[in-house]
């Protein structure tokens, strides 16, 4: 792919897209890809998550925070198995039925993959344990991602190599794993303070749902129906910060707007009538703008910051 015309050039036609995909389905044949950066990234994040995860367990055992609810870990383990099976199925659709990775990634995999650490505690754990379980499951989810998607392991385990096809967008290679881990840790650093400060932790759930379902619909809609394009950049691409030329469209941004409205209405019981009216008028525009100006693959942290800040202010001031 010629960097002069930008990474999105691979979408210039379906024929070109699938020719590139089938020529190198696993991303290991391109000599221009350098994997040392991925190794270094994991060498930093791995110890960090180990310290945070073990620290959370220790604080729970000492009684300084609520202890870990093992039931949430069991549910998370089951979700990880289902995620792997889903990736294998979606990879089959990509390889054998020429379904674009962008579709199966966002419509079939992303909500399940990205929400598990944040959603499971809401259903399995109550009270103060919500914080403990969320932090621990998030660390566990990052180790799961590293173990399943690190290039060193994928080269040696066919099942993981095959499954990753469903997630590894051609325009993101070879940064796919790094983009994911970077967005995840930034989202984590945004959500955790709000879980501590907010009187109702569900205000962290609403932006999460908007991010996953609004953004999940945005990319497929943009690729299939997008006509009014604008550009964004990645935090890191081709050896440089704030680089690359990635495309979004007004049509895909509209999905964030609509998803925000639907999710707010779905959670109407937590709002007063005035709060709900203010939220429906203001929040869809704020979230859509946040998604539009955020970096490629890193819209989650900005959506989290804008959404949680707005909802906290709404419940405090209105």
Q: Flag whether the pTM goes above 0.85.
A: yes
Q: Which residues of the chain have pLDDT under 50?
A: 1-5
pLDDT at position 271, please? 94
pLDDT digits (tens, 9 = 90+) for 34-67: 899 999 999 999 999 999 999 999 999 999 999 9
pLDDT at position 215, please? 80
Q: How many residues does the chain have?
A: 318
Query: Whose CA is closest to 210, among 73, 275, 118?
Result: 118
**304 vs 208: CA distance, rounded Å:** 7
**67 vs 294: CA distance, rounded Å:** 36
Cis peptide before 74 (omega within 30 of 0): no
pLDDT at position 294, please? 86
pLDDT digits (tens, 9 = 90+) for 225-253: 767 777 787 776 777 766 666 778 888 88
168: left (phi over 0), alpha (psi -120 to 50) or beta: beta
């Amino acid at each position: 792919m010629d960097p002069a015309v930008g990474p999105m050039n691979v979408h210039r036609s379906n024929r070109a897209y699938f020719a590139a995909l089938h020529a190198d389905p696993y991303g290991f044949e391109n000599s221009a890809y350098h994997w040392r950066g991925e190794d270094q990234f994991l060498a930093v994040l791995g110890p960090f998550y180990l310290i945070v995860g073990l620290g959370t367990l220790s604080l729970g055992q000492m009684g300084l925070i609520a202890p870990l609810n093992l039931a949430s870990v069991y549910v998370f383990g089951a979700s990880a198995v289902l995620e792997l099976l889903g990736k294998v199925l979606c990879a089959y659709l990509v390889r054998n039925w020429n379904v674009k990775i962008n579709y199966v990634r966002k419509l079939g995999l992303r909500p399940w993959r990205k929400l598990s650490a944040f959603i499971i505690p809401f259903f399995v754990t109550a009270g103060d344990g919500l914080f403990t379980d969320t932090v621990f499951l998030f660390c566990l989810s990052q180790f799961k991602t590293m173990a399943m998607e690190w290039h060193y392991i994928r080269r040696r385990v066919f099942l993981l190599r095959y499954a990753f096809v469903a997630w590894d967008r051609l325009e993101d290679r070879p940064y796919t794993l790094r983009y994911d881990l970077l967005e995840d840790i930034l989202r984590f650093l945004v959500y955790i303070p709000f879980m501590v400060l907010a009187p109702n932790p569900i205000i962290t759930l609403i932006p999460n749902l908007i991010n996953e379902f609004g953004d999940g619909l945005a990319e497929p809609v943009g690729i299939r129906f997008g006509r009014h394009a604008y550009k964004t950049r990645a935090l890191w691409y081709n050896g440089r910060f704030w680089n690359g030329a990635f495309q979004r469209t007004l049509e895909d941004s509209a999905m964030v707007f609509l998803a925000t409205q639907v999710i707010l209405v779905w959670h109407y019981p937590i709002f007063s009538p005035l709060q709900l009216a203010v939220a429906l008028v203001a929040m869809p525009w704020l979230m859509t703008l946040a998604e539009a100006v955020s970096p490629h693959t890193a819209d989650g942290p900005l959506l989290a910051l804008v959404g949680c800040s707005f909802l906290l202010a709404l419940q405090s001031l209105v």
